[in-house]
Amino acid sequence: MQKILILDLGGPYTQHVARRVRECHVYCEVFPAARMTVEAVRAFDPIGIILSGGTAGVSSPNAPRVDKALYALGIPVLGICYAGNLIALDHGGTVEPGEDSRCHSRTLTKLDTDHVLFREHPEDAITWMCNGERITSLPEGFTVTASTANCPVAAFACEEKGLYGVRFHPEVPYTKGGVEMVRQFLYRVCGAVGDWHMETYAAETIQSIRERVGDGNVVLALSGGVDSSVAAALLSNAVGSRLTCIFVDHGMLRKDEGDQVEAIFSRMDLNFIRVNAREQFLSRLAGVTDPEEKRHIIGEEFLKVFEAEAARMGAVDFLAQGTIYPDVTELCHNYADVLQSPHKTGIHPEHIRFKELLEPLRPLFKEEVRALGRTMGLPETLVNRQPFPGPGLAIRIIGEITPEKIRILQEADHIFRSHLESAHIHDHITQYFAVLTDTQTIDITGADRSPKYILALRGVTTDDFMTAKWARLPYELLDNISHTIIQNVPEISRVVYDITSKPPATIEWE
Ligand code: XMP
């Protein structure tokens, strides 16, 4: 399989670059630029290299660099934004400081449409341009391939050396047709043939699982979320009834979710164990209000329940996990940590007696996992399932968790979600849910004017979960939802809609 190597220089969009490359059916991997020696690059054997953007300026003292020997490997290199400047500087060009290098804007850009990267584009394009440093003179043998009113060198190339630079980000949607530019680099410059497809991945992975597992047994922690469900389908296809899926129901799932997961998986040719551990979780969570403590307790209890079940099976040969690529990519910028650390209810392999770990989704992005799920014949309701945090409703009930609050939230959340689904709006919203606040306001409908809970509704659209916009829901729909909730959930006196984006807020409330 052909591979593209992406070297991360610390910019915020590195993961987008990787996703665009994969969308073009070319396999790629991301590595931190600082740790990739030229020997390691050779060993990786890529057909092309993409250097990502960065947050510093190339002339700042700690600016990330690449080994210049990289340019002489005979492998085409595309430098994006910061890396475009770096390529120019490394070859004797001049780069001068500009405005803040983190500041980007949509910019009218004149493209040389005879140039290989821009052949499919109109001459006047909109690009997501960095307002930082500017290339004021290009090295000898390099030509300008795009410019803007303020930036005479918005893109350049030295075809003879296989070097290409763009001062904008083709990988983000703000650059119109940017993915086509990436495609041109892959197919016309690097000679990609497009051999990365989920059908092939499924067939090859099933085969390799069979070879690795032999007649051993496999145990998988199944949450009912997309990743573990697709992993279950893949493993089940590979080893059939030698797979056991353990589904720990902690009692804080959405309404009817536990039964739905059970219904789907008990139909498959695998051993499905549902452990109802609601009491165990709720008793440990009694009186706990701190969100991180809630997460910690849930993680611990989850592990205990899972371990106890696995121990009953005796020695396990293989422990499988639904780890995906964003969980393991080492990106230089801060967001990688934000998404990784608290968000996987991680099983610590050292706690379970097993011989080997299987992670069949490890190289895949979320969209690829969904595509793989479709290839495996999983129902659309499961493949399209929105992300649901491991601790579940525990972090959507602000303050103390009680059985009554869980019931109230489940009912209200169900009404909210069903309305969006009936209005066919849910497909355009990445994540939507209700939050039970711990604030109460007066309800004037009852004789006693007793205080009741405020319920918050949240809907966001996002591509990467690092930033998110609040979803613009029609007023009529919101009105309908609010009425239905108030009528059917008597413990709620008020419904509010969260209109905060991320940043500054997070998607969840806790
Ligand atoms: P935030 O709230 O950090 O959420 O903006 C980003 C994404 O992560 C999910 N999330 C979690 N997922 N365990 C999880 O498995 C958690 O503790 C957790 N906290 C947040 C959140 O639903 C969103 O998709």
* 348-361 pLDDT per residue, tens: 555 566 788 899 99
Beta bridge partners of 495: 455
Q: Residue 25: what pLDDT? A: 97
- Cα(330)–Cα(324) distance, integer angstroms: 13
Average pLDDT, the chain: 91
Query: At 342, is the pLDDT very low, low, confident or very high (cuts 50, 70, 90)?
Result: very low
Asked if the domains 3-189 and 198-383 are classified in one and the same CATH topology, the answer is yes
13 CA from centroid of ligand 1 (Å) = 20
Using a cut of 0.75, tell me whether the model's pTM lies above it: yes
Residues whose CB falls within 8 Å of the CB of residue 272, separated by 6 or more in sequence, listed in order: 222, 244, 245, 247, 262, 265, 266
Residue 333 has pLDDT above 70, yes or no: no
Cα distance between residue 113 and residue 103, in whole Å: 27
Q: 459 in helix, strand or coil? A: strand
Lookup: tokens for 306: 């899972």
In CATH, what number does 198-383 get?
3.40.50.620
Distance of CA 66 to the CA centre of its chain: 27
Specify the amino acid at residue 101.
Answer: S
**Domain spans of the chain?**
3-189, 198-383, 396-497
Contact call for residues 46 and 31 (beta carbons, < 8 A): no
* Residue environment code for 429-465, b if the CB has 16+ CB neighbours within 10 A, otherwise e: bbbbbbbbbeeeeebeeeeeeeebbbbbbbbbebebb
Record the tokens describing residue 383, joined without a space: 């493949």
In the predicted model, what is the mean pLDDT of residues 197-212? Answer: 97
Q: Work out whether strand 77-80 and strand 48-51 pair parallel, antiparallel, or are unpaired.
A: parallel
Could you tell me the pLDDT band of residue 347, with boundaries at 50, 70 and 90?
Answer: low
pLDDT at 341: 33
Confidence grade of residue 389 (pLDDT, cut at 50, 70, 90): very high
Mean pLDDT of 220-238: 93
For ligand 1, whether the C-beta of 509 sits within 6 Å is: no
Residue with structure tokens 């990688």?
Answer: 336
What is the CA(200)–ligand 1 centre distance, in A?
31
Q: Rounded to whole angstroms, how far apart are CA atoms 140 and 403?
A: 72
Establish whether 28 is a catalytic residue. Answer: no
158 is catalytic: no
User: Would you say the CB of residue 431 lies under 6 angstroms from ligand 1?
Assistant: yes
> Is the per-residue pLDDT at 427 higher than 80?
yes
Among candidate residues 171, 257, 309, 510, the one labeled active-site is 171
State whether the beta carbon of 294 lies less than 6 angstroms from ligand 1: no
For residue 245, pLDDT beyond 90:
yes
pLDDT at 298 over 60: yes
Report which protein residue has its CA nearest ligand 1's atom 4: 507
Residue 337 binned pLDDT confidence (cut-offs 50, 70, 90) = very low
The answer on pLDDT for 220 being more than 60 is yes
Residues with Cβ < 8 Å from 373, sequence gap 6 or more? 226, 229, 230, 233, 382, 383
Q: Which atom of ligand 1 is nearest to the CA of 508?
A: 2
Instruction: Quote the CA–CA distance of 225 and 264 in Å, as a whole number.
Output: 12
- Using 50, 70 and 90 to split pLDDT, how confident is the model at 454? very high
User: Would you state the pLDDT for residue 104?
Assistant: 81
In this predicted structure, what is the pLDDT of residue 447? 75
CATH topology of domain 3-189: Rossmann fold (3.40.50)
Catalytic residue check, 169? yes
Which residues lie closer than 8 Å to 307 by C-beta, 6 or more apart? 351, 352
Active-site position among 16, 104, 115, 169: 169
Closest to 376 measured CA to CA, from 392, 388, 364, 358: 364
Q: Which CATH architecture has domain 396-497?
A: 2-Layer Sandwich (3.30)
Residues 205-209: what's their mean pLDDT? Answer: 97
For residue 355, count CB atoms less than 10 angstroms from its CB and return exposed for 0-12, middle for 13-18, buried for 19 or more. Answer: exposed
Q: Ligand 1, residues 296, 321, 343: which to mutate, most atoms within 8 A of Cβ?
A: 343
The first and second tokens of residue 192, run together, are 């990609």
DSSP state of 313: T
Contacts for 172-178: CB closer than 8 Å, 24+ residues apart? 172/13, 172/16, 172/128, 173/463, 174/104, 174/106, 174/126, 174/127, 174/128, 175/125, 175/126, 175/127, 175/128, 176/125, 176/126, 176/127, 177/120, 177/121, 177/125, 178/20, 178/127, 178/128
pLDDT in tens, 125-134: 999 998 788 8
- Least confident interval from 77-91, 338-352, 367-381, 446-460: 338-352
Task: Evaluate: CB of 502 within 6 angstroms of ligand 1.
Answer: yes
Distance 343 CA to ligand 1 centre (A): 6
Torsions phi, psi for 417 (to 5 deg): -65, -40
Query: Confidence class of residue 463 from pLDDT cuts 50, 70 and 90?
Result: confident
Q: Could you give the percent of the chain with pLDDT greater than 90?
A: 74
Whether the per-residue pLDDT at 283 is higher than 60: the answer is: yes
Assess whether pLDDT exceeds 90 at residue 373.
yes
pLDDT band at 117 (very low <50, low <70, confident <90, very high): very high
| pLDDT at residue 336 greater than cutoff 50 | no
- Ligand 1 atom nearest 505 alpha carbon: 5
Q: For position 348, what pLDDT does the model report?
A: 54
pLDDT at 99: 64
Of 45-59, 395-409, 491-505, give the lowest mean pLDDT range: 45-59
What average pLDDT score do residues 330-342 get?
A: 36
Q: Using H for helix, E for strand and C for coil, what is the string for 237-275?
A: HHHHHHEEEEEEECCCCCCCHHHHHHHHHHCCCCEEEEE
The residues, ordered by sequence, that sit 6+ positions from 363 with a Cβ below 8 Å of its Cβ are: 27, 29, 325
